[in-house]
Structure 1
Amino acid sequence: MVRIFALCLAAFVTTAQADEAAPAPELPRPLRDADFRPVNETEAALGQLLFYDKVISGNRNIACASCHHPRFGTGDGLALSLGEGGIGLGPDRVADPNNMPEQRVPRNAQPLFNLGAREMVHLFHDGRIEVDPARPSGLRTPLESEMPAGFDTILAAQTMFPAISPDEMAGHYGENEISVAVRKGDLTGPDGAWALIARRVSSIPAYLQMFAAADPEIAAGRPISFADVSNAIAAFMEVEWRSDDSPFDRHLSGETPLSGDALAGLSLFYGKAGCSECHSGPLLTDHQFHAAGAPQLGPGKGARFERHARDEGRMEVTGRAADAYRFRTPPLRNVAITGPWGHAGAHDDLAAFIADHAAPRNAPWPQDAVLPALPGADDFAVRDDDAERAMVLGSVARPDVTLTAGDVALLVAFLNTATGDSAKAGRLGIPQSVPSGLPVDR
């Protein structure tokens, strides 16, 4: 036993000496106020109420917070969300037997941290909304030339799409006037889905008063548009979940250097593990799209008439075969509290995800996931199909990196330091009530 201890100690000392001799990694600069857009505080306070108000969903039963809740790291703790047809919050959410979901939401609910940063130019897992100065709206979206004006930021534009998704917020066909408009393809018309949502909000006196206080044009008589609703929600998210007060931030600024396992994990992250090749910059993302071989589960992202369950990622946006199975590099700020991980949320353990992500070709695909029961759902169709699984793994270009259990533990220790002090609770918090009078998910 003494000899084994001596050998372990010698190995530790040798490793420590090697680490001391290694050059210091090149780290990103600290985040600064200039990295974030300025926010109208009155508009943000209005957006806080709208974010938690279920009035903007077709059946008045789902809020933005239903799938992006601070209790679950601004997600919902599920691999794939149950939007319309779900009841309950977070991992306790289940299918409503009296209003069964048509399918699960096809991708994991993404966290909302630092979406007000100026460098955020792509949103959604596949980047289907992106900044494009060449377009009249300044944005490229699935609506192309029909994209309405009035959205202040890319984040504001992003908020309008869950509201018209039948699986997320709009509801099933025929259930309400918004879902009917969506199924007819009427989104932007005077009686389209977005106009109907704006009228709902406008019909509530407290909201009308708050919008008038936040916008002189509305105070002068201009009707509230859905863009106004989206701008307010985006302003709230930018204030609430700006995250630049973590131990990692204090290390970057020289205020309080990291030490121990966290410092060793930082050296791995920016060294031999190669994590920083994609997770670079102040937000720990290169904002690019990579095929990483993450397991696919759930209904996939094809059209409703397609029978496969695959999700081809960025290729769905660009149409380029080279983009198959590529997904946006997620920022890693607060990653320790935003699980499950992966575009389909297949991993609910961060250490396991790191190990499998580093060497996906030999990694076993998870046999289960945090998924509420949904009768008829074939959640593991791709996992159980050798050809489908081979296409996912065949798209991976990066060589595998084998990490020891010790390496993974050090990386987890470092990633924990990227959790901001105010990240979990936010700044404005959950309102006690909302102007519609509908219940607030707490």
Structure 2
Amino acid sequence: MAEPVFEAPDAARVKLGWQLFYDPILSGNRNISCASCHHPKMGTADGVSLSLGEGAMGLGRDRKVGAENLPEQRIPRNAPALFNLGASEFTVMFHDGRLEADADEPDGMRTPLGAEMLSGFDGVLSAQAMFPVLSGDEMAGHYSENEVAQAVRLGFLSSEGGAWDRIAARVAEVPEYRAAFDGVAPGEPITFPQIANVIADFIAVEWRADDSPFDRYLREATPFDAGAERGRELFYGAAGCSGCHSGWFQSDHDFHAIAMPQIGPGKAARFENHARDVGRMRVTGLAKDAYAFRTPSLRNVTETAPYGHNGAYATLEAVVRHHLDPIASLQGYDRRQAVFLGLDGAADWTATDDPNETARIAAANSLEPVALRDDQVDDLLSFLEALTDSSWKAGRLGVPETVPSGLPVDR
């Protein structure tokens, strides 16, 4: 098994990306940063099934809706963790893979923007930053609340004077940012791709996590304890986990339908009246991809609950048991597993309550049942614990006390 390859970004670029990652200046109403939903306190995610973006305040399970600007809906999918995304093998982004490296496409990547995509992104990790800032529910704000939201509403995204230009102009107006960009790209105007590139450099360095017991086992043959060793044998043997969770980071970077319960608003355009989420099929249009989602890496998985593309399972044991008999788990789903923040009027169970939708999810399932004893499940959990590398929590940049814009930092 080949070791992962990581680039080593310039320290000045990493520091600049660090400040921008925590700075609400990138959001339409200057009230949400990347860290609002990807915070180290919650394992680089946010600790809830489905996030509340624009219109909410606070971190993790303490995040609450504001009184004056209510969120229109929950974010349809769970905020993914950011560990090891600087490794070269991570070429597919988002649960449905709507952004992925593709040598046949301009600039080497395929995105939903197609021909409207800007040039200048270093790769898919930086390009993924373009989506949250354009989403009204996530960071842009709704309708005409601000100049960024207005540009998004009118469809001005990558064009001159569009949403990305307006965000970049804000950053350029801050003297400390202007000086920092002059240091890493002298004489060049500040563009959104430049902003995204340094944020990607920060993510690649800050949340590299490849010194777990599993890494030491691969590199130095350091043995596991007895329970984790039994779990490893199950993972790569009778339990069949490695059929999808393969490689150094336990992901085949492919898409699979595993009968995950559908909770929350679903993935739908504003004009669509449903709460479904057909996953990869929304990207490819192919029936074979219905309800398939990207295989997540399992690194630091013990720290990144809830689990599933919509965070349907609150505990690692619950999602492991779902994999053992997906259809039975789907049909008997315990709604208490969902970790929802309060949002009046949220239609969280529309798809869950629809027997036809449940039947469609079940029909797409690709996993065969596996019979394991309780003690074997415990051993699998011990092995998953051995995929945890906590070194990222110490000795890195951490959370800044302040950011150059002077806006509040989520701590």
| TM-score for both structures, normalised by structure 2 | 0.97
Q: Does 1:88 align with 2:58?
A: yes
Q: Which residue of the partner structure matches residue 409 of structure 2?
A: 440
Q: Which residue of the partner structure matches residue 350 of structure 1?
A: 316
TM-superposed CA distance for 1:383, in Å, is 1.4
Given that 2:156 and 2:163 are in contact with CA atoms closer than 8 Å, whether structure 1 keeps it comes out as yes
Equivalent residue in structure 2 for 1:52, among 22, 26, 29: 22
Equivalent residue in structure 2 for 1:177, among 124, 130, 147: 147
What is the rounded CA distance, in whole Å, between the counterparts of 2:12 and 2:108 in structure 1?
25
TM-superposed CA distance for 1:284, in Å, is 0.4
Q: Which residue of the partner structure matches residue 335 of structure 2?
A: 367
Q: Which residue of the partner structure matches residue 44 of structure 2?
A: 74
Give unpaired runs (5+ residues) of structure 1: 1-27
Given that 2:239 and 2:370 are in contact with CA atoms closer than 8 Å, whether structure 1 keeps it comes out as yes
Q: Which residue of the partner structure matches residue 270 of structure 1?
A: 236
Q: Does 1:207 align with 2:173?
A: no
Equivalent residue in structure 1 for 2:97, among 116, 121, 127: 127
What is the rounded CA distance, in whole Å, between the counterparts of 1:333 and 1:166 in structure 2?
31
TM-superposed CA distance for 1:402, in Å, is 2.5
- Structure showing greater Rg: 1
TM-superposed CA distance for 1:376, in Å, is 1.1
What is the rounded CA distance, in whole Å, between the counterparts of 2:346 and 2:108 in structure 1?
39
State the 4+ residue runs in structure 1 displaced beyond 3 angstroms: 423-426
1:249 and 1:379, CA in 2 relative to 1: closer, same or farther beyond 3 A? same
What is the DSSP-based 3-state SS (H/G/I as helix, E as strand, rest coil) of the residue aligned with 1:130?
Answer: strand
Q: Which residue of the partner structure matches residue 215 of structure 2?
A: 249
Q: Does 1:328 align with 2:294?
A: yes
Equivalent residue in structure 1 for 2:371, among 402, 408, 426: 402
1:426 and 1:183, CA in 2 relative to 1: closer, same or farther beyond 3 A? farther
Given that 2:144 and 2:150 are in contact with CA atoms closer than 8 Å, whether structure 1 keeps it comes out as yes
Identity rate of aligned residues, in percent?
A: 53
What is the rounded CA distance, in whole Å, between the counterparts of 1:311 and 1:366 in structure 2?
19
TM-superposed CA distance for 1:423, in Å, is 3.4
Aligned residues: 408
TM-superposed CA distance for 1:426, in Å, is 7.0
Q: Does 1:138 align with 2:104?
A: no
Q: Which residue of the partner structure matches residue 20 of structure 1?
A: none
Given that 1:240 and 1:426 are in contact with CA atoms closer than 8 Å, whether structure 2 keeps it comes out as no
What is the DSSP-based 3-state SS (H/G/I as helix, E as strand, rest coil) of the residue aligned with 2:100?
Answer: strand
Given that 1:76 and 1:89 are in contact with CA atoms closer than 8 Å, whether structure 2 keeps it comes out as yes
TM-superposed CA distance for 1:254, in Å, is 2.1
- Matching residue's letter, 2:285: G
- Matching residue's letter, 2:298: L
What is the rounded CA distance, in whole Å, between the counterparts of 1:166 and 1:357 in structure 2?
34
Q: Which residue of the partner structure matches residue 11 of structure 1?
A: none
1:124 and 1:426, CA in 2 relative to 1: closer, same or farther beyond 3 A? farther
TM-superposed CA distance for 1:97, in Å, is 2.1
* CA displacement, residues 104-140 of structure 1 (integer Å, 9 cap, x when unaligned): 0000000001111111111000000000111121110
Higher mean alpha-carbon deviation, 259-268 vs 396-405, is at 396-405
What is the rounded CA distance, in whole Å, between the counterparts of 1:357 and 1:306 in structure 2?
31
TM-superposed CA distance for 1:295, in Å, is 1.1
Higher mean alpha-carbon deviation, 419-428 vs 304-313, is at 419-428
Given that 1:204 and 1:435 are in contact with CA atoms closer than 8 Å, whether structure 2 keeps it comes out as yes
1:272 and 1:426, CA in 2 relative to 1: closer, same or farther beyond 3 A? farther
TM-superposed CA distance for 1:392, in Å, is 0.7
Given that 1:279 and 1:285 are in contact with CA atoms closer than 8 Å, whether structure 2 keeps it comes out as yes
Q: Does 1:197 align with 2:167?
A: yes
RMSD (Å), alpha carbons:
1.1
What is the DSSP-based 3-state SS (H/G/I as helix, E as strand, rest coil) of the residue aligned with 1:409?
Answer: helix
What is the rounded CA distance, in whole Å, between the counterparts of 1:307 and 1:423 in structure 2?
42
* CA displacement, residues 254-283 of structure 1 (integer Å, 9 cap, x when unaligned): 252112111111111011000000000011
TM-superposed CA distance for 1:425, in Å, is 5.0
